[in-house]
Structure 1
Amino acid sequence: MSTALQHLRLMAGNNAYANERLYQACCRISQAEFKAERTGFFPSIRETLNHNWEVDRYYLDALREDGKGLAVYETPHLQTAEELRSAQTWQDQQLVLFCDGLSETDLDRSVAQDRGNNGVMRETIGNTLLHLFQHQIHHRGQVHAMLAGTGVAPPQLDEFFLEFDRHSAAEKHM
């Protein structure tokens, strides 16, 4: 297996692990804190997590060539941390399964992505996955910062790759 393919599979596991840890904290805050207006790219923890869930569904649809495209954004936003946790966990499992099923040649294969007014663009599976993981990290960091303004401490999210520093919860995602 190539280093690139191994890296993407590890990133899928890391993504699931980091989301699991973040949702453990988010499920401990009150609903009022979850939907409270905060400083960030999106105005609340709830809206930021809904955005991540939407974008995951959009890109996985494109990667699997399921054909829903922008219609994934028509799904109503989920309202509670528990609802989002369940939906995101399922989505993360699907992404891990997708990455586990990839072959070397899949990484360079391009897939169509409906970009609305900009038309349908094509991008490689490898680059799309790299973008998706970076997107998740970016917005998880924002939620992490927002949690600092609540009564629940933001969790450590980077204890995945180093064997000597690995969180026990990371093991099931390796």
Structure 2
Amino acid sequence: MNLPAYFVLQARYSQWVNNRLYDVCATLADAERKQDRGVFFGSIHGTWNHLLLGDRLWMARLQDQPQPYQRLDLELYADFSELRAAQSTDDQNLLEWVQNLSADDLERRIAFRSLSTGQDKELAVATMLTTLFIHKTHHRGQITALLSQCGCDYGAIDFICAPFVD
């Protein structure tokens, strides 16, 4: 598999698993989703908000757009349905964007300032995409742990369980 195809596969998986986990989260009452459970961004809802913010921040950098946020803990959407719809749209946009990348595109370097460290960085697109997908996996891991604590069964979501992975 070549590197552009790898990132398409990562985007497809991310879209698939986000949809599966949002389905499970939708079974919880809003108060349960928003209950502070002691994770980085407080709650399941707060973690989903941060995931979307992170996606948008990385995509702005990747597309040479201004940084849309100055903090990592903003609540973009208080309403769960709006948050889910925004994530779904952004997942589709990410998939479409990576489907148009070439190997040369992945080597292009982009300069930006890190919100978490305040340091100026310059990374290859491939490294930035890797960071984006690892970030998503990290916080989805928190969400699955919280769902387990709530007694929710989110099923088999490992990468190899996705219906399009062969």
Q: TM-score surpassing 0.5?
A: yes
Q: Shorter-chain TM-score category?
A: 0.7 to 0.9
Aligned amino acid, residue 121 of structure 1: K
Q: TM-score, normalised by structure 2?
A: 0.88
Letter in 2 for 1:96: L
**Unaligned runs of at least 5 residues, structure 2:** none
The aligned residue for residue 133 of structure 1 is 133
Task: Return the offset for 1:122.
Answer: 1.4
Matches within 5 A, 1:5-154: 5-70=4-69, 76-116=75-115, 118-154=118-154
For structure 1, the 5+ residue unaligned runs are: none
Runs of 4 or more off by more than 3 Å in structure 1? Answer: 68-76
Following superposition, the deviation at residue 166 of structure 1 comes to 4.1
Identity among equivalent pairs (%): 30
Q: Write the letter of the residue equivalent to 2:77.
A: L
What is the CA distance between 1:66 and its match in structure 2? Answer: 1.7
CA drift at 1:155 = 3.4
Q: Distance in 2 between matches of 1:35 and 1:75?
A: 14
CA distances 1:60-94 after superposition (whole Å, capped 9, x unpaired)? 01111122354586974312322211010111111
Flag the structure with higher helix content. 1
Deviation at 1:114, TM superposition (A): 2.5
Q: 1:66 aligns to what SS in structure 2?
A: coil
CA RMSD, 1 decimal: 2.4
Give the whole-Å Cα distance in 2 for the aligned partners of 1:74 and 1:38. Answer: 15
CA contact (8 A) 1:65 1:112 kept: no
Whose relative contact order is higher, 1 or 2, with alpha carbons under 8 Å and at least 6 apart? 1
* Matched residues, number: 165
| Counterpart Cα distance in 2 of 1:63 and 1:166 | 26
Cα contact 2:41–2:73 (8 A) shared by 1: no
Q: Deviations over 1:131-151 (max 9, x none)?
A: 110110010010011011225
Give the residue type in structure 2 aligned to 1:105.
Answer: D
